């Protein structure tokens, strides 16, 4: 049983490391800042979670494992906020994305039963 846990954790850690390296390679290969961010998000989602899962198996049912859960939660709540802020900062700085297709002008179908008073509610402003 201990051996199984040992090998399972190392398989997870090795897989996680593989995705970290793949993400890093992607950051080098991609042509512009926006596409590089997509490569980076492989690192902080799949790479990081597999690594932490592997470490959790190593830690067993202890407080350390619980703290690793907090690390994951931190990554999953702050990661997208940071990515969003970075992408928006790049757009504000007028860094033109390399695009194959630009559908920003497309008509978005309206949704029935909308509450207009909530319209501005979705602002996720990193400055606040």
| Site for other proteins, rule CB under 8 A | 19, 22-23, 25-26, 29-32, 34-35, 37-39, 41-42, 45-46, 49, 63, 66-67, 70, 76-77, 79-81, 83-84, 87-88, 91, 97-104, 106, 108-111, 114-115, 118-124
Output 3 or 110, the one with its CB closest to other proteins: 110
- CB-count burial class (<10 Å; 0-12, 13-18, 19+) for 81: exposed
CB of 54 vs other proteins, minimal distance in Å: 15
CB of 67 vs other proteins, minimal distance in Å: 7
Output 3 or 127, the one with its CB closest to other proteins: 127
Packing angle between helix 63-92 and helix 48-59, nearest 10 degrees?
170
> Rounded to the nearest 5 degrees, what angle is found at the Cα of 55, between the Cα atoms of 71 and 57?
120
Q: Residue 90 has which token pair?
A: 């790049």
CB of 10 vs other proteins, minimal distance in Å: 19
Output 3 or 104, the one with its CB closest to other proteins: 104
Output 1 or 127, the one with its CB closest to other proteins: 127
CA distances from 70 to 50, 51, 101 (A): 15, 14, 39
Phi, psi dihedrals of residue 109, rounded to the nearest 5°: -60, 135
């Amino acid at each position: 049983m201990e051996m199984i846990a040992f090998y399972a954790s190392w398989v997870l850690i090795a897989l996680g490391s593989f995705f970290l390296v793949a993400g890093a390679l992607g950051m080098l290969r991609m042509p512009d800042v926006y596409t590089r961010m997509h490569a980076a998000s492989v690192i902080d989602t799949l790479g990081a979670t597999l690594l932490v899962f592997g470490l959790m198996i190593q830690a067993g049912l202890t407080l350390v494992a619980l703290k690793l859960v907090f690390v994951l939660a931190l990554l999953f709540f702050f990661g997208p906020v940071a990515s969003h802020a970075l992408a928006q900062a790049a757009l504000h700085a007028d860094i033109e994305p390399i695009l194959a297709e630009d559908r920003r002008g497309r008509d978005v179908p309206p949704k029935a039963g909308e509450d207009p008073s909530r319209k501005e509610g979705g602002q996720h402003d990193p400055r606040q």
